[in-house]
């Protein structure tokens, strides 16, 4: 496969747009705007409400949600929540266009064909599925007693968004640099980088459960959880599996534990990489990785100790940057070889 910078840049722009969607989604969650738009018009939803009748219709739908019924707000307050959510949805539509227009052009030019075209089509379907998933979450607001998107949907929503993000980052980087560059003696580093990517993703998934179950309101101390290493009430819910989604003590405990294992693994990866003779680009990558993970851990501690959802939002965005940095490092290690002198064995490279 030949390098194609234009294809790669296009896919990396899409990855940046997924990051933008996380910025918008996280903001909507922080201000409690998730349930404000109870209509789904994938094609005509660009058009903002412009008459009193439009507003009355949208506000009327919102008034049917359990959130409104437990916390009534005025039309002006509704509008303040509406616009961020509206922009977030328009961003999603813009992403679809930024996907489809270049996709069609690249198809016509013959730059995207065969497996590459199918693969990009698959990523598009994943994105469409993610949008439908988001819509399902929004309309849970119409169910009695549901005041915010339930953790059972909110947690996986971030986890699947990050999978799509990972596919885009990996594919974009591969279009730009299709051939792995041999990195002698770095096979163990590649395993560490793979573990880092997997652990960051898992920790992020549990982080989303902490956020959606509002577990930030309990155990606001560190390193112990109100004086206990294992919080009381960890496995109180039945069936047992429910604790790992909805029990504030369990999800926060799991997130802290996973975060610690993740931070240690990522730091070990960065330290191992920095002790080896690597290209300047890889070294920079490992330096960034160490910096982002340290910042992420500190932000997590500050978020819980202060119980600040705004800091939680910054913590969420930094997690995406950390994830992207780990993915980039792992991508550069595709050509890692087991030991010096073995680089002539092409089978060892991916
Ligand atoms: C490698 C380390 C970590 C990663 C990758 C990570 C990732 C995340 C992510 C992605 C979220 C946000 C999910 C969302 O808003 O949907 C989150 C939330 C959260 N994390 Fe972490 N985290 C890490 C470390 C920590 C640590 C060490 C703590 C505290 C001891 C912590 C406490 C929290 C809290 C309290 C929230 C909820 C914030 C809110 O409700 O707005 N995190 N984490």
State whether 252 and 228 are in the same domain. Answer: yes
Total domain count, the chain:
2
Domain stop point among 178, 212, 244: 178
Q: Is 262 a pocket residue for ligand 1 (Cβ < 6 Å)?
A: yes
Domain stop point among 115, 149, 178: 178
Residue 304 CA, ligand 1 centroid: distance in Å: 9
State whether 141 and 249 are in the same domain. Answer: no
Taking only the tens place, the pLDDT of each residue in 170-216 is 999 999 999 999 999 999 999 999 999 999 999 999 999 999 999 99
State whether 336 and 198 are in the same domain. Answer: yes
State whether 101 and 204 are in the same domain. Answer: no
Residues of the chain predicted below pLDDT 70: 340-350
Supply the pLDDT for residue 253.
98
State whether 4 and 152 are in the same domain. Answer: yes
Q: Is 253 a pocket residue for ligand 1 (Cβ < 6 Å)?
A: no
Q: Which ligand 1 atom is nearest residue 260's CA? A: 27
State whether 40 and 167 are in the same domain. Answer: yes
Q: Is 4 a pocket residue for ligand 1 (Cβ < 6 Å)?
A: no
State whether 199 and 324 are in the same domain. Answer: yes
Q: Is 304 a pocket residue for ligand 1 (Cβ < 6 Å)?
A: yes
Q: Is 263 a pocket residue for ligand 1 (Cβ < 6 Å)?
A: yes
pTM (two decimals): 0.93
Q: Identify which of 24, 199, 255, 269 to mutate to test ligand 1's pocket (most ligand atoms within 8 A of the CB).
A: 255
**Count of CB atoms within 10 A of residue 69's CB?**
12
Domain stop point among 178, 211, 245: 178
State whether 217 and 327 are in the same domain. Answer: yes
Q: Which ligand 1 atom is nearest residue 320's CA? A: 10
Q: Identify which of 24, 31, 210, 296 to mutate to test ligand 1's pocket (most ligand atoms within 8 A of the CB).
A: 210
Residue 171 CA, ligand 1 centroid: distance in Å: 27
Cα gap 146→149, rounded to integer Å:
7
State whether 153 and 213 are in the same domain. Answer: no
Q: Is 28 a pocket residue for ligand 1 (Cβ < 6 Å)?
A: no
State whether 237 and 285 are in the same domain. Answer: yes
Supply the pLDDT for residue 339.
72
Q: Which residue range forms the structural domain that includes residue 322? A: 180-350
State whether 110 and 202 are in the same domain. Answer: no
Supply the pLDDT for residue 342.
53
State whether 116 and 219 are in the same domain. Answer: no
Q: Which of 24, 35, 40 is nearest to 146 (CA)?
A: 35
Instruction: Give the phi and the psi of residue 42 in degrees, each rounded to 5.
Output: -55, -30
Taking only the tens place, the pLDDT of each residue in 135-150 is 999 999 999 999 988 8
């Amino acid at each position: 496969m030949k390098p194609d910078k234009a294809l790669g840049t296009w896919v990396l722009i899409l990855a940046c747009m997924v990051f933008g969607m996380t910025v918008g989604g996280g903001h909507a969650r922080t201000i409690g705007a998730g349930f404000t738009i109870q209509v789904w018009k994938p094609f005509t939803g660009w058009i903002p409400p412009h008459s009193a009748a439009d507003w009355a219709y949208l506000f009327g739908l919102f008034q049917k949600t359990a959130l409104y019924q437990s916390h009534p707000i005025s039309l002006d307050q509704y509008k303040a929540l509406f616009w961020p959510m509206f922009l977030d949805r328009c961003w999603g539509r813009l992403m679809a266009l930024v996907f489809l227009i270049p996709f069609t052009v690249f198809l016509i030019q013959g730059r995207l064909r065969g497996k590459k075209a199918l693969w990009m089509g698959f990523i598009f379907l994943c994105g469409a599925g993610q949008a439908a998933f988001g819509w399902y979450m929004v309309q849970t607001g119409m169910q009695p007693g549901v005041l915010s998107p339930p953790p059972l949907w909110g947690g996986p929503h971030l986890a699947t968004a990050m999978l799509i993000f990972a596919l885009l980052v990996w594919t974009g980087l591969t279009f730009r640099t299709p051939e792995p560059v041999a990195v002698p003696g770095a096979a163990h580093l590649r395993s560490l980088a793979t573990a880092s990517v997997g652990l960051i993703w898992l920790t992020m998934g549990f982080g989303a459960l902490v956020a959606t179950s509002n577990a930030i309101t309990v155990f606001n101390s560190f390193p112990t959880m109100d004086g206990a290493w294992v919080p009381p009430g960890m496995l109180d819910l039945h069936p047992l599996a429910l604790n790992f989604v909805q029990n504030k003590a369990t999800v926060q405990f799991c997130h802290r534990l996973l975060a610690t294992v993740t931070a240690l693994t990522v730091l070990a990866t960065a330290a191992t990489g920095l002790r080896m003779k690597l290209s300047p680009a890889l070294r920079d990558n490992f330096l960034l990785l160490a910096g982002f993970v340290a910042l992420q851990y500190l932000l997590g501690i500050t978020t819980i100790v202060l119980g600040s959802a705004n800091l939680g939002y910054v913590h969420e965005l930094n997690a995406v940057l950390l994830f992207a940095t780990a993915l980039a490092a792992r991508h550069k290690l595709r050509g890692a070889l087991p030991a010096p002198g073995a680089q002539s064995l092409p089978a060892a490279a991916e």
